[in-house]
Amino acid sequence: METTLRGVGVSHGVAIGEVRHMGTAVLEPPAKQIPTEEAEREQGRARQAVEAVAADLIARGNLAGGEAQHVLEAQAMMAQDPELMADVDRRIAVGSTAERGVYDAFASYRALLANAGEYLAGRVADLDDVRNRIVARLLGVPMPGVPDSDEPYVLIARDLAPADTALLDPALVLGFVTEEGGPTSHSAILARALGVPAVVALPGAGELAEGTVIAVDGSTGEIFVEPSAEKRAEMESAAAARKAALSASSGPGATSDGHKVPLLANVGGPGDVPAAVEAGAEGVGLFRTEFLFLDDSKQAPSEEKQVAAYRAVLEAFPEGRVVVRVLDAGADKPLDFLTPADEPNPALGVRGLRSLLDHPDVLRTQLTALSKAAQGLPVHLEVMAPMVADRADAKAFADACREAGLQAKFGAMVEIPSAALRARSILREVEFLSLGTNDLAQYTFAADRQVGAVSRLQDPWQPALLDLVALSAEAARAEGKSCGVCGEAASDPLLACVLTGLGVTSLSMGAASIPYVRATLAKHTLAQCERAASAARAADSAEEARVAAQGVLSGE
């Protein structure tokens, strides 16, 4: 009998197939004591396992490329953390086996992260995956992971570690469903990059029996268990129609009556550029430069290294617009040379622009590198600061850009409610705004973007969040300046129409989402988008807002 479940759709598309479950977690190793004379040997075993796991993560990253590579390289650095290894050595020295020493050291570090604030929950999940891989290697058992199957299937898991998600084979894994996670988790972002339909935050997903046929709608978040022949045909027909619309859609982003909405790509470095170009991106709306800095948490990359990385991206979009976000460090992206190690709540502490203003030499070097990278190129370079709270922040950033001799537009990200509420004041210091809806939702609702239990509050359809977007767009229009969206909200085709109706002037997203958004915008007029935006803002919940907007755009 067909039943319907609902989670959070995070990656477009339809998948119909049999359920296969992710392997169970590594068992806790026994707590047995070893003689003192065996300690050195056990310490060597632990170091060898750590290095092997780090090498495996880096190799997986090299195979995956793009944003997945940056995520996996960060995990490899986590595995090799010297403080963690020192703790492992201490535990082995007093009698633990290598595997027990690793298990307990990671558990201790995990507790520290958890107590530092829920914002670090995403790093805790990654830490667990690293621990499991090291312990599995020491125990000589296979690392639980993607099931071995010759037939395509829908993958079910409690959560997916980046190392698993990055190497999913779309030819075999038709889609995936997880119990945990949220719309901005690593798994969701990587699923969109892969173009694999995905639903997260589905309670009870693990209870779906192996071999059960399910149909997954990655747009709506609906799961149909044992779908009828009629439901299958309906979903397959809708998927075919969507694919045809994507194929027929090309060129710059615009509504059906010609209102231009540039569609830009979010990239983490040169490795993400080919997919953006292939998708027809009109430029880059968010160049996340922190991935370049995460290669070595002990020191900033040299000016020369930065120039080379920036120029590789700028050269790919001649005459196009490239918006670079300066280093956004802190919270879940700590850097030893830049961010405090003892903050009680890093998400509310010294991160983003605050870190850079405390280390003006790091900001100056980056701005100088950007200036040199753009020399002689026809690209339209724009540079923006993360975590701008008020006009004083905006002025400090603009002054730093001018002092570095940067020939570019200077902008501010709107990720804090205060920036949206005082957007017009901020725009007296900078030339554009860019809404980072992931963090803006997090700070508006006090809801950690990595915690599935509060995923309804991370939903970018929340009317309160749409109100803040509208405030920012209205301020930009009044000042004659631009206001784009570079958060994950832009990747939802229906929401892209609503954002356009709110007055947003450009949309930036993962490359895989661009064709979907382009095709959907092309079917609606600006007036329809504006009516849909008004209907969504008049709602009292995210679900009501989505339904109201859908009703307007479908003519119901």
Residue 380 annotated among the catalytic residues of the structure: no
Name every residue whose Cβ is closer than 8 Å to that of residue 233 and which is 6 or more positions away in sequence.
Answer: none
Q: How far apart are CA 107 and CA 31, in angstroms?
A: 14
CA distances from residue 437 to 285, 300, 303, 444, 486 in whole angstroms, order as listed: 13, 28, 30, 10, 7
User: Residue 154 pairs with which residues in a beta bridge?
Assistant: 19, 175
Instruction: Kindly report the number of other CB atoms within 10 A of residue 1's CB atom.
Output: 5
Q: Which listed residue (401, 486, 497, 529) is catalytic?
A: 486
Question: What tokens appear for 410 in the block?
Answer: 């200077």
Query: Is 12 labeled as catalytic in the residue annotation?
Result: no
Edge-to-edge strand list for the sheet holding 8-11: 3-6, 222-225, 213-217, 14-21, 153-157, 173-178, 198-200, 8-11
Instruction: Compute CA distances 427 → 264, 287, 402, 551, whole Å.
Output: 22, 21, 16, 35
Q: How many angstroms separate the Cα of 273 from the Cα of each of 65, 215, 253, 287, 525?
A: 11, 32, 19, 10, 30
Provide the token pair at 167.
């190497």
Distance (Å, rounded) from C-alpha 94 to C-alpha 355?
40
412 forms beta bridges with: 385, 433
Alpha-carbon distance values, 19 to 14, 162, 335 (Å): 14, 21, 40
- Please identify which of the residues 12, 186, 359, 524 carries the catalytic annotation: 186
Closest-CA residue to 155 (of 7, 294, 19) = 19
**Residue 538, exposed/middle/buried by CB under 10 A (0-12, 13-18, 19+)?**
exposed
Instruction: List the catalytic residues.
Output: 186, 486
